[in-house]
Structure 1
């Protein structure tokens, strides 16, 4: 047998045009039509102003890409030559030298074509993309009825009310969502390459983790081999200085060879906060006659991860157990970082994942309306210890069940499960987002009202199609390809019992919960403390990005809550008015629109603090808190804690404090102030708890010291004080209760509790002073105040974030922060100088204080 090392050639030099046009333009691959049009100056910035509306014609057109390439004599001589498309978006016909080689219909999988007989010294490759809208409209008409698609904004494209997104295996959010624009893309969104080889090669290498403990890891190496002739030799697998081998005899064709392996005292992979993110390299080699004929390596983390659902006194548990340790999952829901996914760089992925780790998170949920993310995203989660809850890409819709569609789903699932199973961060697969609860098959009085639109016969058919995907194809794929990973059919969902399930409510005793009473139903923030389930996988509150980001899409004349531009960058119906309604309840009136931007962020942070800490106080019953959402796909008012440009909103800082591994939480109910302690650490902590009542000038009115113990990996009640006992006649509008924990293991935390909403506090000009000093490359800022400075906001010229921000600054309690500059070098954040900066607090943004400042200015002028 002749053995030659496989050769890979990435194709470049692409051009594109609308099929109806004659003139070709340069194209970027990976890329899409929208970004190529923008780079060629054919359209304006899709994100600016109301340009989104003017670009809806693009998805009604057919588009074509082409390139030419030379094949070397060596490539032409190989026994096997394939063209490989890692990703085509979405309906594409491909020809090589004028001959058709494949037709694609699924964005979420790769495509291969044997081109050995067609390849020439000089070659022309063309990819013709059919409009996803024009392609799927006939499917809708042939079906005879519309399937529910809650966030499909097809009407934005000028086609009426037709909902066609459900027919395309394409990123659902491209059709519009209540935080994202409608840009239905087409294009070559991943690499294209020519693969040539002869003899034998390894197509896939996976280390199945059959049983992993601190004592030993029992593993099975699964090596997918392809050979064009009979082959005999030895399979060798090595790692950590150990080697395992077996003899192999193969006929021509594809085979999966298994080899058992065991490592004693393995280096375990842990999530952030629980231990090191140890990664292990494995190498597979096919050896014959002393020569290595094929080899492959894979890096993974050795760990045991499972979803624990056991009956208990409350119902059924729902938590991730990692290496035998129950993990309280802290984090957020991840959406694609851009409407045009090929614009997301490695640095942008790293910035998001590193920001999650900096904010004390340990989980991101990859939501089912986006994409199966780039390998970089999962590698970064592996490195930073961020657990991944991975949805399959189905959301807020019901889907067809014809044979071709189901076959496409099966291929998509198999490829993505195989691709992602090597990542220790991926600990749970979920079938879809909100479809079980929306349809609510077994409860006629629940759901989103979808069933009422259909006859009983159609209801049964739609549900059978649902079950074929989410209760058959997807779990079967997981069991076959990644049996060590658990599967959950839908989020949210309650217990699955036989052929029935119970509807997920906002306080279910089992399953996971999406609670949206606060926001959509305009319920008070206090309801976050009432509606708590076993795992809170979605809840959220909106805010605007900071003014510097808003200025990237709006001109000065657009700076108004109900301007056309501001409404076009708010995709949630009444969103802007909801923010204002809640602001009227909890905060003072902002003095202008730019102040409104700041106060919306504070409002969002306060809402999410209330929710997160309520969940963490119930640790044991509740074992997960993932707010909606981590990031944005364009500059917009949304639920994100980090805006499109990666700038931390107030929420990101609030989350960092509320997700601390050791945290105090103060909560007032029925005339009592309760002090709770939460610890994610695996050892108990002893320490001192000091409670102090201060006025806004920093005077200590009374204090209550105590010795306390925090149990390991648990939440507990530390102390209770009667409101009247604390105040003793003090003005509740002018005092604050502080709680400070100083514990063993170097742990500390500080929390404040106010007795009235912020709008009712007597805020005065705080007299903030800032001192700057340099320690090595680090620039430190110490802030002090004469009177309470509420929600101090440090804004910087340079891109980055401060180690703390949007905090309360009390007289006599200076706060020192450092600036973390965003970096595209070896580290995501580096010590650096923020450049010019501003220090402002709530007092600077409220209308009443603005009037007071103006009165003071006029008085000074009169005095002079």
Structure 2
């Protein structure tokens, strides 16, 4: 049996720049980890997430570093002994007892080195020297020539997390280190070198396909591989001259694995046991949990162009998704518990797919395991983003090895539903001015997306779809970001125009669109210490990485909300506008679900405290956008949309049962007086359907547009329509009362409206940085009440719930601007 010794203790770090002042010769180091974290833990640098400290730490990525440790070993000529590095970031030379054993050039691969002949009895010295990624990148630019890149740094010339070099939401923190596990593995005779496992359906049966490759050492006797899942077993003989075996197992009528909004996620443990035939010794084992579901991506032609529809268990889905970026600039800091917490937050927001974006990393196993257990679908980009990539050596071989490593590692996961070739690179070549820069015949990555990646995906993981890019229209003969084909990104909204322009688009699938806002107030106070805090103060402005980002925030308010006068109002107005923009876009696209089959919001999470497109900030605090997503992604959504020159209430049902209920509505003044009303006894919205109900003329024709609102109810769902934007709407100054009652784990805060309150928000982090509130963006008619549940250990009183600071609404922004 394989013996594994994890080598995570006794490491030290040293700076190879001997002229660097203020650093000790050796620094205690943590593995897994990185140089920045070791320097930070030893108080040798300021926290790069605080204020403008990022720029004072720039030298770290431009310096060479060496990690060292000493470990005990007991060499045995009958035993193969290998050093296994699950993740090295990135340009590294590894030496054992003074002798070089390997060089690495890829953050996204696992490396294994035979050290049987180099180990000594007793203490062994291991050193890993990391070269500056900048220095290596300069060499590679000379080797390949220049390739366009939308962001600074040489991330497209090496296989390293591209957003390390900075993005429009991320800092430039160029890391180095052993970011995953390091171990010494000892084994004899044979081990499982690779196991490719897929789980699909064959009729009503579960079909498990296993392809196993063996590594051998010493006695090459016969072996057998035994497999067991759900009480079904199979044993296959492996002859002494064989090193690979393939077979299938059928599990009769397994329970189906579903995305969380449609059903349960039963997982079946699969155990593989490699056994020596002669002695019966167990040589190696592999265990995975498998879920059984069918999967295809429908891209067939239709009357609208060509589809982009995920079909799971023969059900065409509307995808309610969000983009996922690395959850920390230092990925080793993301624990299994943090993965579970973040994915649970996505699930609670009614998100059922996360797209792992191509400028980051292939996440660790724990991410995909959590998605399997929680019914969270995963779209996985291959790691190419916003740049042209050389296809020559040595990069091509690194890409191939990286893809093989990660496809084999991730393909057993039921949650994984797509391999995607790249992020915006085909679009970039077509529309971002790359064509005249790239010389005729010069590679830029297309060969990866249309040839290498689909071939490797089809060979290794033929049961899962591959798509060349996002956005991509299915053919190089069609412009890559077309509405009628494939998947689309919408970025003129936010960059150039107001969010009302979302209604100009009905894409087949929108895999990126977003709107910015600052993080939670408590996150700003923890990470930015300007006095006073203003949108333009040094720390706040530095934590805004988008080009003219603050200007776009203000421009985006125009026509919707008044320009804020104070920092508090700027913070709330921009957060509210972000929430409204995305809800507006999602509800519009969901209302056209017969054509559009998915929205994937940019973005769900953050990697550091920053003004960004995220719904959950880097501290895990919910922005108002989180609550807007929860509402807009409700499996049963009621929305009011323009239709045929009028208005329609659109009921959208993503549940497995039909939705039949009375629908009623009112046109009313903001003071609560009803001007017109209707009632329809039974509106039937079938499962996986959007049903439009035209609103009567008396409802959609206002007398005084600035003073009226349309309210439509269907069971416990409600939708509003306003005839003018808030900046023109006669919203009164808020009049309300507050009652606070202690409950288990926190407080119930009951707010009763004396007048019309629009988008009422309780900013719980203003009461306690660790507090969480269950709801936000609540609109109340005069006399109505809402109970906010606040989870906190801090004592709260009614007088703490101050209007204009803790309790915010569109009313106080609009009325306060008059």
Q: TM-score range by the shorter chain?
A: over 0.9
Which deviations, in whole Å up to 9, do the C-alpha atoms of 1:765-796 show, x marking residues without a partner?
A: 32222334456557433321101222212122
1:765 touches 1:843 (CA, 8 Å); kept in 2?
A: no
Distance 1:570 1:807 in 2: 29
2:249 corresponds, among 261, 275, 292, to 261
Q: CA deviation at 1:736?
A: 2.1
1:840 and 2:813 are equivalent in the alignment: no
Distance 1:205 1:770 in 2: 60
Distance 1:558 1:814 in 2: 36
Q: CA deviation at 1:833?
A: 7.1
1:595 touches 1:845 (CA, 8 Å); kept in 2?
A: no
1:276 and 2:250 are equivalent in the alignment: no
2:94 touches 2:129 (CA, 8 Å); kept in 1?
A: yes
1:344 and 2:325 are equivalent in the alignment: no
Match of 2:13 in 1: 16
2:323 touches 2:602 (CA, 8 Å); kept in 1?
A: yes
Match of 2:117 in 1: 117
1:591 touches 1:845 (CA, 8 Å); kept in 2?
A: no
Q: CA deviation at 1:504?
A: 2.3
Range that drifts further, 768-777 or 425-434: 768-777
Distance 2:458 2:81 in 1: 33
Distance 2:2 2:112 in 1: 19
Distance 1:343 1:461 in 2: 39
Match of 1:171 in 2: 161
2:426 touches 2:446 (CA, 8 Å); kept in 1?
A: no
Match of 2:480 in 1: 504
2:785 corresponds, among 811, 814, 819, to 814
Runs of 4+ with deviation above 6 angstroms: none
1:79 and 2:79 are equivalent in the alignment: yes
Aligned 1:80-99 pairs, distance under 5 A: 80-99=80-99
1:771 and 2:735 are equivalent in the alignment: no
Q: CA deviation at 1:491?
A: 0.8
Which deviations, in whole Å up to 9, do the C-alpha atoms of 1:494-543 show, x marking residues without a partner?
A: 122xxx432123x521110001121112x232210111210100111111
Distance 2:306 2:517 in 1: 35
Distance 2:220 2:700 in 1: 84
Distance 2:31 2:283 in 1: 33
Question: Residues 257 and 843 of structure 1: is their aligned pair in 2 closer, same or farther, counting only changes over 3 Å?
Answer: closer
1:205 touches 1:297 (CA, 8 Å); kept in 2?
A: no
Question: Residues 118 and 725 of structure 1: is their aligned pair in 2 closer, same or farther, counting only changes over 3 Å?
Answer: closer
Match of 1:745 in 2: none
2:600 corresponds, among 607, 620, 626, to 626
Question: Residues 148 and 361 of structure 1: is their aligned pair in 2 closer, same or farther, counting only changes over 3 Å?
Answer: same
What secondary structure does 1:390 align onto? strand
Q: CA deviation at 1:726?
A: 4.3
Match of 1:674 in 2: 648
Match of 1:856 in 2: none
What secondary structure does 1:733 align onto? helix
Q: CA deviation at 1:81?
A: 0.3
What secondary structure does 2:38 align onto? helix
Q: CA deviation at 1:556?
A: 4.2
Match of 1:444 in 2: none
TM-score between the two structures when normalised by the length of structure 2: 0.94
Match of 2:538 in 1: 564
Question: Residues 781 and 564 of structure 1: is their aligned pair in 2 closer, same or farther, counting only changes over 3 Å?
Answer: closer
What secondary structure does 1:452 align onto? coil
Q: CA deviation at 1:290?
A: 5.2
1:336 touches 1:371 (CA, 8 Å); kept in 2?
A: yes
2:706 corresponds, among 722, 733, 737, to 733
Q: CA deviation at 1:233?
A: 4.5
Distance 1:65 1:754 in 2: 62
What secondary structure does 1:349 align onto? helix
Distance 2:644 2:107 in 1: 54
Which deviations, in whole Å up to 9, do the C-alpha atoms of 1:7-44 show, x marking residues without a partner?
A: 33333211101113371011111111111111111111
Range that drifts further, 418-427 or 712-721: 712-721
How many pairs are equivalent?
Answer: 799
Match of 2:583 in 1: 609
Q: CA deviation at 1:582?
A: 1.6
Which deviations, in whole Å up to 9, do the C-alpha atoms of 1:610-639 show, x marking residues without a partner?
A: 110111011021101011111111111111
Q: CA deviation at 1:841?
A: 2.3
Question: Residues 133 and 492 of structure 1: is their aligned pair in 2 closer, same or farther, counting only changes over 3 Å?
Answer: same
Question: Residues 239 and 774 of structure 1: is their aligned pair in 2 closer, same or farther, counting only changes over 3 Å?
Answer: farther
Aligned 1:695-774 pairs, distance under 5 A: 695-706=669-680, 707-722=682-697, 725-726=699-700, 729=703, 731-742=704-715, 748-773=716-741
1:391 corresponds, among 371, 377, 381, to 381
Match of 2:574 in 1: 600
1:639 corresponds, among 613, 630, 634, to 613
Match of 2:150 in 1: 150
2:699 touches 2:710 (CA, 8 Å); kept in 1?
A: no
2:668 touches 2:674 (CA, 8 Å); kept in 1?
A: yes
Aligned 1:87-486 pairs, distance under 5 A: 87-120=87-120, 121-143=122-144, 145-152=145-152, 154=153, 164-209=154-199, 211-213=201-203, 215-228=204-217, 229-251=219-241, 255-287=243-275, 288=277, 292-440=282-430, 447-454=431-438, 458-463=439-444, 466-486=445-465
What secondary structure does 1:651 align onto? helix
Q: CA deviation at 1:573?
A: 1.4
Which deviations, in whole Å up to 9, do the C-alpha atoms of 1:805-832 show, x marking residues without a partner?
A: 12212223322333356xxxxxxxxxx7
Distance 1:233 1:567 in 2: 63
1:802 touches 1:820 (CA, 8 Å); kept in 2?
A: yes
Distance 2:148 2:139 in 1: 17
1:48 and 2:16 are equivalent in the alignment: no
1:692 touches 1:701 (CA, 8 Å); kept in 2?
A: yes
What secondary structure does 2:274 align onto? strand
Q: CA deviation at 1:681?
A: 1.4
Q: CA deviation at 1:390?
A: 0.4
Q: CA RMSD in A?
A: 2.1
1:368 touches 1:393 (CA, 8 Å); kept in 2?
A: yes
What secondary structure does 2:500 align onto? helix
Q: CA deviation at 1:247?
A: 2.9
Question: Residues 346 and 545 of structure 1: is their aligned pair in 2 closer, same or farther, counting only changes over 3 Å?
Answer: same
- Structure 2 unaligned blocks of 5 or more: 19-23
Distance 1:60 1:115 in 2: 31
2:208 touches 2:250 (CA, 8 Å); kept in 1?
A: yes
